[in-house]
Amino acid sequence: MTQLRASRLNTTAPRSPKFLGDLLPTGSWKRRIVFWGVIPFIALLFIYWIMNSFVMMAITRHGSEFPLPDFTGKSTTEAQVQLLELDLNFEISSEEYSPGKERGIILNQFPIEGTKVKSGRTIKFVVSAGQKMVPIPDMAGKSVRQAMLDLETSGLVLGEIAWAFSDTLPERVVVFSYPGTDAEIPMGSPVNLMVNRGRASSFTYMPNVVGMMLSEAVKRLEDKNLKQGIITYRTDENYLPETVLEQSEETGTELDVGTEIDLVVSSTE
């Protein structure tokens, strides 16, 4: 009798369903779109979120900004102490002559006051180089008019004019200046002149009274043997009342003793 042998079942063992196999059958166009389009896009979004939320925040120190203080008017030494406390650096971008400002005083800054900055930022300063000093030109032997032009070219202004009387020196020329020639003084300072009139005469020179109070200007005219002329008032709120705005003769003009000088004076009405 032939013995029966157990035969292997010709059935295939059940397989586990593939990922989204029912919705995205293998080889379908939907599956290709998801695996080659949607999933990479989601991965890129996730990477962008990680970079923006953590990596870039650490690099840029997001949230650590603070308003920059005002350093103008301070010395660089004072500013440096405050900058160290704020973990900031500075550099001097340029120096400028500034009347009335000591050397080393900060005139301008970049960024400006109130700008949001972060630690480690370098702040640029424009610093005062102090008062520019200029030498007094040699004006001996020159006319008063030429001396005034030389002073203007040098950045100086005419101060008082006094006169001497001498037959041995050329007439109507500058004898010397005070301060003396080649002395260095701050730009914009007045320089006084001594002028030879030759023999004693009845001539004088017109002083500069613009910018003075009227009472002071009248006294200055009297000191130069000149008289007060017509006083005209003009409304000008940029000046204090009774301030001389104009004079009828130019500064340094040779005049007869007793000449009347007309003045224009400021008024608030």
CATH number, domain containing residue 160: 3.30.10.20
Q: What DSSP element (H or E) covers 196?
A: strand 190-196
- 221 in a structural domain: yes
Q: Domain check: are 164 and 193 in the same one?
A: yes
pLDDT attached to residue 215: 94
pLDDT of residue 23: 63
Q: Is residue 138 part of a domain?
A: yes
* Number of domains present in the structure of the chain: 4
What are the tens digits of pLDDT across the range 8-57?
444 454 554 555 555 666 666 666 776 676 777 788 887 877 776 665 55
HSE of 181, CA atoms in CB hemisphere, 13 A: 11
Q: Are residues 44 and 96 in the same domain?
A: no
Please classify residue 211 by burial: count the beta carbons closer than 10 Å to its beta carbon, then call 0-12 exposed, 13-18 middle and 19+ buried. exposed
Assess whether 100 and 138 both reside in one domain: no
Mark whether 52 and 112 lie in a shared domain.
no
Domain for residue 191, yes or no?
Answer: yes
Grade residue 1 by pLDDT with cuts at 50, 70 and 90: very low
Q: By CB neighbour count within 10 A (0-12 exposed, 13-18 middle, 19+ buried), where does 191 fall? A: buried
Determine how many CB atoms are found less than 10 A away from the CB of residue 89. 14
DSSP-derived letter for residue 12 is P
* Least confident stretch, 41-55, 68-82, 92-106, 196-210: 41-55
Residue 3: inside a domain: no
Question: Is 258 domain-assigned?
Answer: yes
More confident residue, 136 or 102: 136
Residues 73 and 120 occupy one common structural domain: yes
Instruction: Please state the rounded mean pLDDT for residues 87-93.
Output: 92
Last residue of a domain, one of 110, 128, 146: 128
Residues 119-176: tens digit of each pLDDT = 889 999 999 988 888 999 999 989 888 999 999 999 999 998 888 877 777 888 899 9
Q: Who has greater pLDDT, 112 or 61? A: 112
Q: Which of 128, 160, 182 is the last residue of a domain?
A: 128
Same domain, residue pair 193 and 250: no
Q: Are residues 86 and 137 in the same domain?
A: no
Q: Are residues 188 and 213 in the same domain?
A: no
Confidence of residue 58 (pLDDT cuts 50, 70, 90): low
Residue 182: per-residue pLDDT: 87
What pLDDT sits at residue 204?
82
Q: Backbone phi, then psi, for 192, in 5-degree steps?
A: -90, 145
Burial of 267 by CB count in 10 Å (0-12 exposed, 13-18 middle, 19+ buried)? Answer: middle
pLDDT band at 252 (very low <50, low <70, confident <90, very high): confident
Domain residues for the domain of 138 are 132-201
**Model confidence band, residue 203 (pLDDT cutoffs 50, 70, 90):** confident
Torsion (CA) 153, 159, 162, 166 in degrees, nearest 10: -20
Q: What pLDDT is stored for residue 22 in this prediction? A: 59
Residues 124 and 137 in one domain: no
Q: Do 231 and 249 form a contact (C-beta atoms < 8 A)?
A: no
* 91 domain-assigned: yes
Q: Which of 13, 38, 62 represents a domain boundary (last residue)?
A: 62
Quick one: what percent of the chain has pLDDT higher than 70? 81
Helix (H) or strand (E) holding 28: none
Has residue 98 been placed in a domain?
yes
Identify the burial level of 38 via C-beta atoms within 10 angstroms of its C-beta, where 0-12 means exposed, 13-18 middle and 19 or more buried. exposed
Q: Residues 114, 145: one domain?
A: no
Judged by average pLDDT, the poorest of 25-29, 81-85, 150-154, 221-225 is: 25-29
What pLDDT score does 5 carry? 52
Instruction: Give the pLDDT confidence score for residue 98 in this predicted structure.
Output: 84
Chain position carrying tokens 């003793």: 257
Q: What percent of the chain has pLDDT over 90?
A: 45
Amino acid at 184: E
Same domain, 101 and 153: no
Is 4 inside any structural domain? no
The mean predicted confidence, pLDDT, of the chain is 83
